Structure 1
Amino acid sequence: MTKVVIIGIEGESGLWVADLGAGTVTKAPQMAASTLEIANEPNSTGAAITKGINLAVVAASAESLSGGYMDR
């Protein structure tokens, strides 16, 4: 079963689609008045919405994750 994660990042407009099965992350197409776009509106004011997320961390680069900087 493919698992897909929709990601909204603070300070960035629009949403991202991470397809865990395919190993890809792509910009979500702009969807006028879609449920996801409406749900993403609080992101512009700094609100966070999580559903089914056990851990989420924003890092500057993949190297900072693999270097162990995020585990302290």
Structure 2
Amino acid sequence: MAQVVVLGLAGTADLWLVDFDAGTVTPVQPSSGSSLGQAVDLRNAGATIVKGIDFAVKASSASSIASGILD
């Protein structure tokens, strides 16, 4: 089974599909009637949606992560 996750950063409308097996990140455009589209509507209304993720931290740069600094 592929290891993928859809991410969206707070303050941005973009969604990204991260494929850990392939090592790729690509933009996602969900259709409005899909389950992902419904999740986007909830997100736009201020909801935070987390499923199957047990650790996520936004950082200011990759170098801060490498040095162990989390914002």
TM-score, normalization: structure 1? 0.80
Name the residue aligned to 2:66.
Answer: 66
* Unmatched tracts of structure 2, length 5 or more: none
Greater length-normalized contact order (CA 8 Å, ≥ 6 residues apart): 1
1:36 aligns with 2:36: yes
Conserved? CA contact 2:32–2:38, under 8 Å: no
Distance 1:45 1:9 in 2: 14
Between the two proteins, what is the percent identity of the paired residues? 41
Distance 1:69 1:36 in 2: 32
Shift of 1:59: 1.0
- Aligned alpha-carbon RMSD (Å): 1.9
1:19 is aligned with what amino acid?
D
More helix by share: 1
Conserved? CA contact 2:5–2:17, under 8 Å: yes
* Unmatched tracts of structure 1, length 5 or more: none
Show structure 1 runs of 4+ deviating over 3 A.
none
